[in-house]
Amino acid sequence: MDFLQFNKIKSSLRKFFLPDLQGVSRSRILELKNTYRGERAFIIGNGPSLNEYTFGLNRIYLMFDELGFKTNFLVSVNQLLLKQCAEEINRLKIPKFISSFASDYISLDRNTVFIKSLGDPQFSTDLTRGIWEGATVTYVAMQVAYYLGFSEVILIGVDHNFKTKGTPHKIVEQRKDDPNHFSPKYFKGMKWQLPDLPTSELAYRLSRYQFESDGRKIVDATVGGKLKVFPKVKYEELFKVHNQISTQ
């Protein structure tokens, strides 16, 4: 049996067992609903150590040693990134929310749930149905945070600004140091898709509407960020208010 034949057989078996894989993820997702109701969470691309619940995105684990902590959750849905970084992501021992498109190379271990991607613009309040990616993993993390019940989400390191310009979603190879992320190694030597900021902004507006309609909120504590969808807050003020509430 040659390599091509083996891959075809493996792909057929994967399709046969996929409904069960989705069933396991659905069961896990249902168990998680509203488990953090009333808490607040940080969605970070790059940030300092925090004694809070934190969502990391894509390759945030490159900063774990420098940060001195691991994020509570990892969210990653870009198929191109997941395929290239599968080995690293499979080694992570934290709860992971992963696109079901990556089920061929991301293991369904006890820390992983697969989420189906939906085609139409929407904010999903039910992860078992799937999510719209909104052209940014940050938006996916917002939907996960909503489903888990977080009442307040704080954005950190969401610059909404890229030095590399070009056609949205175009696949390019980053041969030199990466100037667009917290680490020059982030996409160095890898392929990635150029951002689609207008679609991301549409997604963020949907997210703000959904959170505020339910008496929750998303605020943006990114220093110098270009995103204008969410109310801005000063990072240092977040802990003053929170500490005052905690001691009352």
What pLDDT does 68 receive? 85
**In angstroms, rounded to a whole number, what is the distance separating the alpha carbons of residues 183 and 44?**
14
What pLDDT does 6 receive? 39
pTM of the predicted structure, to 2 decimals: 0.81
What pLDDT does 40 receive? 84
Q: What is the pLDDT of residues 91-124, one digit of tens each?
A: 999 999 999 999 999 999 999 999 999 999 999 9
Q: What tokens does 100 get? A: 């079901």
Q: What is the pLDDT of residues 30-59, one digit of tens each?
A: 899 999 998 888 886 533 334 578 999 999
**In angstroms, rounded to a whole number, what is the distance separating the alpha carbons of residues 86 and 145?**
23
Cβ 56 vs Cβ 82: under 8 Å = no
Higher pLDDT, 72 or 46: 72
Cα dihedral angle (15, 17, 19, 20), rounded to 10 degrees? Answer: -160
Closest CA to 44 of 147, 178, 182: 182
Cα 129 to Cα 13, 32, 44, 122, 143, distances in angstroms: 24, 14, 25, 12, 12
**In angstroms, rounded to a whole number, what is the distance separating the alpha carbons of residues 140 and 201?**
13
Listed in sequence order, the DSSP H helices in the chain are: 3-32, 64-67, 79-84, 86-91, 137-148, 197-213, 235-247
| 232-237 contact pairs (CB < 8 A, 24+) | 233/154, 235/156
Cα dihedral angle (130, 135, 138, 139), rounded to 10 degrees? Answer: -50
pLDDT at 178 over 50: yes
What pLDDT does 240 receive? 64
**Torsion angles phi and psi, residue 213, rounded to 5:** -65, -25
